[in-house]
């Protein structure tokens, strides 16, 4: 299951279409960042026992963080938080 633009906008509480392209870009970046932390190239690599729903919150959190901190995002802080959220699913090595 993929996150849809409307789901992300609802999470962000954005009602206009003004930032749709930005939000889609941030969603793509958030997925890539989470995949990098998980050390996989797609969520399906984690196996059938993992449900994509488990990764929605870290992805939504990342989009929200990047959206709210567009000009002064602390990527070290964001990465540490994501590592904590995704630690149980993280592959031990590449």
DSSP string, 28-65: HHHHHHHHHHHT-SSGGGG-TTS-THHHHHHHHHHHHH
Place of tokens 């959206």: 67
Name the nearest CA neighbour of 11 among 73, 59, 71.
59
Whether residue 85 lies inside any domain: the answer is: yes
Whether residue 32 lies inside any domain: the answer is: yes
> Is the model's pLDDT at 94 over the cut of 60?
no
Name the nearest CA neighbour of 2 among 30, 21, 22.
30
User: Would you put residue 87 in left (φ > 0), alpha (ψ -120 to 50) or beta?
Assistant: alpha
Q: How many domains does the chain have?
A: 1
Tens-place pLDDT, residues 71-81: 998 999 999 99
Q: What's the confidence (pLDDT) of residue 17?
A: 96
The whole-angstrom separation of Cα 64 and Cα 85 is: 15
The whole-angstrom separation of Cα 30 and Cα 68 is: 13
Whether residue 67 lies inside any domain: the answer is: yes
Domain assignment of residue 33, given as a range: 5-89
Whether residue 54 lies inside any domain: the answer is: yes
What token pair was written down for 5? 């633009």
Whether residue 94 lies inside any domain: the answer is: no
Tens-place pLDDT, residues 20-54: 999 999 999 999 999 999 998 888 887 766 677 78
Q: Is this model's pTM higher than 0.85 or not?
A: yes
């Amino acid at each position: 299951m993929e996150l849809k633009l409307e789901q992300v906008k609802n999470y962000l509480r954005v009602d206009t279409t003004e930032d749709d392209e930005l939000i889609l870009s941030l969603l793509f970046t958030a997925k890539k960042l989470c995949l990098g932390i998980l050390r996989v190239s797609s969520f399906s690599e984690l196996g059938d026992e993992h449900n994509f729903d488990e990764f929605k919150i870290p992805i939504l959190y990342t989009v929200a963080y990047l959206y709210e901190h567009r000009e002064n995002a602390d990527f070290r802080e964001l990465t540490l938080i994501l590592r904590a959220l995704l630690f149980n699913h993280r592959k031990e090595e590449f």
